[in-house]
């Protein structure tokens, strides 16, 4: 079975081609929209996607060495994400599926991050820690779906780091040589300053920390590097704490960290220490597949199609707020995740 997958939920227009026997990944083409200032402008991003979409598909097919007629299905990310961006991928996928008469497979972007990670580490039933620009959530499989055990009550970790860096005047670019500007600036920080640390149950909250850190910066009462260091330590520690709480609660023996923010080496080492202490296996999706890409959409599409999931093109509408816990996962047994 060979599937082509299209990703366009935020800043990356990605086309991937995968098949069900190794090597699974046949092509991985990405066009990344980079804003000159500020964050992602959805309209600008979607225009960038539209002008590069045909090239991306052509390149993916030629790299994979397949023709459209060889494909068993077209998978597309329909959400969650930015509407104007998602619509570019959806329109292209609908057109290809109806013109070539191929099954159209609706893929949840969050589930795709999880499934590509599980494939890479051969994990069976991990606790999911999903950290990206748009998402901060902790999930575990139970009764047919991934259930959300914890999430942010306001902004995501990625959004927190990016906004802080931008307001402190050290971004864009947000990531330089694989290191986020906040991690970079924190390297020279030595003094820990007390700022709001908010963990409520399994949930985190970063908006108060952001406001307090910026207020401190504007007051000029602390070194920039100390502000970066303290804000980062608090944000990362809160994430590790809720992950650890979820592990204690669910009894999962594996932790899978997915999403682009997971590539921070500082966060990675904190996860390593925690996993060693708790005796669980850790998988952090490597940067190449942690960021948005078409391969993860194609791979999840393949799993879905094998379980008979596909829709008519007119049913393939985008869902900007399609959460992970709204998707049935037929390839996992109906088990109760609780260890008891």
Partner 1 sequence: MIKSTCPGSPELIALGAEAVLVKACYEGMPSIFKVRVRKPYRDRGLDTMLIRSRSEVEAKILAELRLKGLNVPALYYVDLSEGLIVMEFVEGPLLRDLIYRGSEKALKCLEELGELVASVHDAGVVHGDITTSNVIVGGDGVYLVDFGLAKYSRRLEDLATDIHLFIRSVESTHYGLKEALLRHFMKGYAKVKGRDFTDSLLIKVKEIRMRGRYVEERRVRRGI
**Nearest distance in Å: CB 213, partner 1:** 14
Query: What is the SS3 assignment for 284?
Result: strand
Answer yes or no whether residue 321 interacts with partner 1 by CB under 8 A.
Answer: yes
In DSSP notation, 149-197 reads: EEEBSSS-HHHHHHHHHHHTT--SS-EETTEEHHHHHHTT---------
* Residue that has been written with the tokens 């094998």 in this structure: 306
**Nearest distance in Å: CB 68, partner 1:** 32
Answer yes or no whether residue 317 interacts with partner 1 by CB under 8 A.
Answer: no
Residues 118-147 binding partner 1 (CB under 8 A) are: 134-137, 140, 142-143, 147
24 or 278: CB nearest partner 1: 278
Q: Rounded to an integer, what distance in angstroms lies between the CA atom of residue 79 and that of residue 8?
A: 9
Residues 171-210 binding partner 1 (CB under 8 A) are: 192, 194, 197, 199-203
The alpha carbon of 153 is separated from its chain's Cα centroid by a whole number of angstroms, namely 18
Q: Rounded to an integer, what distance in angstroms lies between the CA atom of residue 283 and that of residue 304?
A: 23
* Residue that has been written with the tokens 């292209």 in this structure: 92
Binding mask 32-61 for partner 1 (x = CB under 8 A): ----------x-------------------
Q: Rounded to an integer, what distance in angstroms lies between the CA atom of residue 82 and that of residue 41?
A: 10
Answer yes or no whether residue 154 interacts with partner 1 by CB under 8 A.
Answer: yes
Residues that bind partner 1 (CB under 8 A): 42, 79-80, 83-84, 134-137, 140, 142-143, 147-149, 151-154, 156, 192, 194, 197, 199-203, 229-230, 233-234, 237, 240-241, 244-245, 247-249, 269-270, 273-274, 277-278, 319-323, 326, 336, 338, 340
């Amino acid at each position: 079975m060979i599937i082509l997958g299209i990703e366009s939920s935020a800043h990356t227009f990605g086309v991937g081609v995968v098949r069900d026997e190794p090597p699974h990944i046949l092509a991985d083409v990405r066009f990344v929209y980079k804003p000159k200032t500020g964050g992602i402008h959805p309209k600008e991003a979607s225009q960038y996607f539209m002008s590069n979409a045909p090239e991306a598909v052509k390149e993916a097919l030629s790299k994979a060495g397949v023709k459209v007629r060889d494909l068993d299905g077209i998978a597309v990310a329909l959400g969650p994400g930015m509407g104007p961006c998602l619509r570019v991928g959806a329109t292209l996928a609908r057109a290809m599926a109806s013109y070539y008469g191929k099954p159209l497979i609706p893929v949840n972007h969050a589930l795709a991050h999880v499934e590509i990670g599980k494939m890479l580490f051969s994990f069976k039933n991990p606790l999911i820690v999903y950290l990206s620009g748009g998402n901060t959530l902790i999930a575990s499989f139970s009764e047919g779906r991934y259930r959300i055990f914890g999430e942010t009550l306001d902004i995501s970790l990625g959004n927190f780091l990016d906004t802080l860096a931008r307001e402190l005047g050290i971004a864009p670019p947000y990531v330089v040589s694989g290191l986020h500007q906040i991690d970079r600036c924190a390297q020279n920080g030595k003094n820990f300053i007390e700022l709001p640390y908010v963990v409520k149950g399994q949930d985190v909250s970063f908006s108060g920390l952001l406001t307090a850190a910026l207020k401190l910066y504007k007051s000029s009462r602390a070194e920039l590097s100390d502000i970066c260091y303290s804000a980062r330590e608090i944000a990362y520690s809160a994430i590790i704490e809720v992950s650890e709480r979820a592990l204690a609660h669910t009894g999962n023996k594996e932790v899978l960290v997915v999403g682009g923010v997971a590539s921070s080496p500082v966060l990675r080492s904190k996860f390593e220490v925690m996993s060693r202490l708790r005796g669980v296996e850790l998988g952090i999706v490597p940067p190449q597949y942690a960021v948005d890409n078409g391969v993860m959409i194609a791979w999840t599409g393949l799993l879905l199609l094998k379980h008979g999931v596909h829709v008519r093109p007119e049913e393939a509408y985008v869902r900007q707020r399609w959460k992970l816990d709204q998707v049935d996962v037929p390839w996992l047994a109906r088990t109760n995740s609780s260890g008891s």
